[in-house]
Chains A and B, each alone.
Chain A
Amino acid sequence: EAGVTQFPSHSVIEKGQTVTLRCDPISGHDNLYWYRRVMGKEIKFLLHFVKESKQDESGMPNNRFLAERTGGTYSTLKVQPAELEDSGVYFCASSQDRVTTAIYEQYFGPGTRLTVT
């Protein structure tokens, strides 16, 4: 079974540019999460999809961040325009259905390291 994949693994962009991060969850996983770790800080929740619907986007920093999950499969996270403080590692995770505690067992991708200069 393939794990959670993320693309790109590393992105370096200039302040003001746009970047789109992609996450492919484990096949069949309805839940998809985005997290971010800014250097020196803890990993913080950004948002949660259930299939194609945003279930919780309370962690999104501001309206420069836009997440989508068209068709309930892969997800993209766009940052436009990027600012210096957006630098960090962006993790994606997925988990199975909501009926059982399987929702709580999240499988993480390798992360995308974003550097804004």
Chain B
Amino acid sequence: AQSVSQHNHHVILSEAASLELGCNYSYGGTVNLFWYVQYPGQHLQLLLKYFSGDPLVKGIKGFEAEFIKSKFSFNLRKPSVQWSDTAEYFCAVIISSNTGKLIFGQGTTLQVKP
């Protein structure tokens, strides 16, 4: 079965540190890739998405992600985190032959210390 794996369940960083959250998926066909974020007390929001084209995609709030097809990966990065980035981050995929069903990773909780 298709699955998504996020490497870290809990990450703690100091402000201004660089962030990279790993995400790998298991599916050999065409995929659409997403990162969602859930800030404390808020609902899930789309951070960025990849459908096709340039494998380096930029999202909101300075986040970016790189799709590496050969590695089945879609890692999320940010050069310098802020305290306001404290949230839970979810990697997800949609398999193109599907109905739009999102398959999520387990989520990574990011805590940024001021």
Q: Is the CB of B51 within 8 A of A104?
A: yes
CA distance A48 to B49 in the complex (A): 20
- Contact flags (1/0) for B90-114 with A, using CB distance below 8 Å? 1010100011111111110000000
Q: Mask for A95-117, Cβ within 8 A of B = 1, else 0?
A: 10010010111111111000000
User: Is there contact, CB below 8 Å, between A105 and B102?
Assistant: no
Q: Mark A30-73, 1 if CB is under 8 A from B, else 0.
A: 01010100000111110010100001101100000000000000
B43 touching A110, Cβ below 8 Å: yes
Are the CB atoms of B104 and A104 closer together than 8 Å?
no
Q: Check if A45 sits within 8 Å of B102, measured CB to CB.
A: yes
Chain A neighbourhood of B99, CB < 8 A:
48, 50, 55-56
**Contact residues on A (Cβ < 8 Å of other chain), bracket:** 20 to 34
Task: Give every chain B residue within 8 A of A74 (Cβ-Cβ).
Answer: none
Task: Name the contact of A42 in the complex, choosing from B45, B100, B104 (C-beta under 8 A).
Answer: B104
Say if the beta carbon of A90 comes within 8 Å of chain B.
Answer: no
A residues in contact with B43, CB < 8 Å? 3-4, 91, 108-111
Please name the 4 residue pairs, one residue from A and one from B, whose CB atoms are nearest each other, closest first: A108-B44, A43-B104, A110-B43, A56-B99
Interface residues of chain B, those whose CB is within 8 Å of chain A, are 4, 32, 34, 36, 42-46, 49, 51, 90, 92, 94, 98-107
Given A105-B49, A110-B43, 15 further pairs, Cβ under 8 A: A3-B43, A33-B102, A35-B102, A42-B106, A43-B102, A43-B107, A45-B101, A45-B103, A55-B99, A93-B102, A103-B100, A104-B32, A106-B100, A106-B102, A108-B45
